[in-house]
Chain A
């Protein structure tokens, strides 16, 4: 199938080039036939990239080791699920995955965009085609997944052991979906700039795309956290690793955009800012792929390193230069239509949140790039560690959490002192009460305390919003409270779904509070020896070492150490942690030249984790004393980790509510309501303006 794959890539290059050129011409001349041809080329790109993706999958599943990519990233004893995951485990495959996913989104944008945006579509075709073109060229000339070796190896190199984890099977595609789908809002922004149609049209067209990207990014990042937590074995889920940062950066700018775009829709303001945010998000998504793929900053994630990084760098520079020119030439058309009516309004709170998000993005970007900058300037790479990121981002994150609570309590347009008092009374009182209680009971961490106080403030504010919203519907429409709540969501999914997303964010923050109370001990235990550890919730855990067992399982040699755990003297189960050595070559499958078995010498850790909503007991088996069953353990109590995972679930539910089609009144109902309102107003006959 690799010949078909090669042919498909060649065709994808031609079709994407056609789409770029003809789409641009169609946008410029307004010719319908060119526009249709460009749109069809986008669908043709999907067709050929699907064939290429199938061709690579078939080569992987058939273990065609003559294909260099298959040889490099799979082996005979690699389980099927990871063999398929190897599709995006290496350089060339992940580029194909990027291009393939982009072609799906690009074709979906062509199909699903209503005809009222037809003016923008030729340029949208051109932009998505240009990005596909770049990825296909990168593949064909720098990292081709269908390249063949001059010989047929007996077995492959196998997949990086750390990638052989269920979390890793779904984390990269989810993150890629987020990265890639940003291209669609970006394409509409470019289309709006090129066509000079810079009213709110393009913003309306991308509303759901933006949210979809954001949800995918959020889920992808959280799955990455989960993978790091269960697989890397260092006990945490976020280490400000360059690749983690690279995924976080577009998330920050997209979150800022999700808020600021509402100001453009409602007030015709922040037009330049919104275009810049979408363009930045796209460039940062490419930057994220560049960081992962170039290995420019040493990172546990930089599994694949090659010269493709330079291709990315060139694309980033060209795309940035093009965008700067485009923006500069359209600046006069991006003047605001209105102005802020009051600095105490929801608009103003969104402005602050945007500044904070972008400030945070800048801090993260600076910290991520600092090793490169220092190497360029001083010749030595100075790594910026978690303390820098935590020191800078914790206060900004808390300010943002505070704004999450403040924004929903202030009305659009303006607010008066009296009303602010009424709105803020209950949330502030509850938060203050908690604050006092934390001080009285000498809560251990300042930042954790502030996080909890702000979380209570936000949740109280949101619940108050729901309570008052339901009350208003009950009074205005005579609806029951249950129906009122349902209609509250149904009629304004964006606002109330958004509040659910905010609840998800608060849930994450509560999870982060646990980081201040991590308790751990490292010790060597003989069989029967015990170690004890106190948890922040006051429990005392006792770990009794039971022994170490060794076995060959699937494609690896496993050393498993088990401990019997008691909590306050009550049995709490047995926890097993594993150290895995994956076979490089194995007698039964593909013997090494000397006929022996060899390992990859890349040991991976499977942490043993047992927990509940309060805390996780996290056991890492670090090694065994040679020739004995004496095991080196690290026992960690990680409080509130589940809240991070639950936060993601709540966030997705909120995102789905916002995206659910048909939010607001139905067209007919809405029309009738608006017409009725209009008629009533005319009957009222207020003085017409002179």
Chain B
């Protein structure tokens, strides 16, 4: 589904943060992305979410080289990718409902469909009673659930999560991991960037280790 071949990445005026990364993420797979701080995990996640373009090598998504397609086509590809951040990044002025509905509204889905989809997913994540509440009034774990709901409501082909349990305690983090495993069983590929060894041990899945300089070790 996503394939990186000899990918290098350099930020403007800086050193190369990724050198010769080769990686394939298959549909319906579940991987961890690990590596020490500064190894380039976040940069790799940004590449995979088509938020950055490589300075060399190729990134292919569903057979399409992301550098050779138009911005509009890249935007369309991004709609197939769900992203969850460590700090949730919910929009504070919107209710939980509107936060979850945001990607559907971006795709001009009908209001009736939005209502049913959001309520279904709110039931699944256990937040159906909090739909009209602003994110500031729910707990960190609940905010992360909202972020996950927002990421998966459009049924993405892959879910990228950057330290999704990083700001949660273990029991709360485990509940989030259970949600990810359920999603994976429904057919969504999952890639979680984490350095939380405990989570990896409690929920074992193949890990991709990114070493400083960008080489990959599975």
- Do A and B make up one complex? no
A residues near B (Cβ < 8 Å) are none
Residues of B within 8 A of A (CB): none
